[in-house]
Structure 1
Amino acid sequence: MTTTTPSPKALIAGRVLSGLVIAFLLFDAGIKIARLGIVGETAVQLGWPGDPGFWAGLGWLLLACTALYAWPRTAFLGAILLTAWIGGAVATHVRIGNPLFSHTLFGVYLALMLWAGLWLRSPALRLLVLPAPARD
């Protein structure tokens, strides 16, 4: 067993963290795709267009990025794309001056869960960040 192989507990914790992030993002994508009125109303308050078609398109994009994150072979790419998505949300909240800990940093909390979940469940990510020591 190498140091990069996750323990059973770490693997479960990683899957739980990733599952929570995936569930939240699926909900977020779903309400955009379903063209619920609250999406457009909230978007206008945040300074974005309220057009339901615009948000449905973004919902499909979010769904694709979330699917990439959920699939183990593409999880790293999905994590990078979702981090960019979340960064845009954080920037929006900073721009309009929303409360720091509840609104602005929510995306940061979500991104930390996203990467922690991937770290715990992905030996490849740990090898990429912490290469195995050379053998003599």
Structure 2
Amino acid sequence: MSMVTLDAPVSRAELWSGRALSGLVTLFLVFDGAIKLVPLGVVTQTLDQIGYGASDSTARALGLITLLCTVLYAFPPTSFVGAILLTGYLGGAIASHVRIGSPLFSHVLFGLYLGLMVWGGLWLRDRRLRALLPQLR
């Protein structure tokens, strides 16, 4: 097992793979946050189905939180904090879907899939995270 230090460079392929994965997640979350800010009818209907009520203010608050966490994730100096906050946010989405009995693979685990992409993209592009978790190398 090799140790990764902060001096160890990230290969070009890993860096660009991480940027692409993080970029896809970021684009999806910006879209998700934006449709909650409007808020579109489908957003308020879904909130009502999940048990939060068809509230425009709740949708806007969730949209603002999504966008704030995503901006923190996309900005390299704060990407680790953004990833932690997005993990909590996505965990709440998972819990909400479990509570109402949503389908497992398409709804409940979607937050897990997205969270794995968040951390995978960060791990590929950030040697500081690799130094923190060298056993994953």
Aligned residue for 2:52, secondary structure, equals coil
Native 8 Å contact 1:14 1:116 kept in 2: yes
CA–CA separation in structure 1 for the residues paired with 2:52 and 2:8: 43
- Provide the aligned length of Structure 1 versus Structure 2: 131
| SS of equivalent to 1:110 | helix
2:89 matches 1:85 = yes
List runs of 5+ in structure 1 lacking aligned partners. Answer: 132-136
TM-score by length of 2: 0.90
Deviation at residue 6 of structure 1 after TM alignment:
1.1
Name the SS of the counterpart of 2:90 in structure 1: helix
CA RMSD for the aligned pairs? 1.7
Q: Pick 1 or 2: higher relative contact order, CA cutoff 8 A, min separation 6.
A: 2
Q: Structure 1 vs Structure 2: percent identity of aligned residues?
A: 52
Q: TM-score, normalised by structure 1?
A: 0.91
Q: How does 1:1-136 map to 2 (within 5 A)?
A: 4-130=8-134
Tell me the distance in 2 between the aligned counterparts of 1:53 and 1:95.
22
Q: Write the distance in 2 (CA, Å) between the matches of 1:76 and 1:5.
A: 18
Amino acid at match of 2:16: I
Q: Please tell me the residue identity of whatever aligns with 1:84.
A: G
Deviations 1:2-33 (A, max 9, x none): 77421000001001110111011001100001
Which residue in 2 is equivalent to 1:134? none
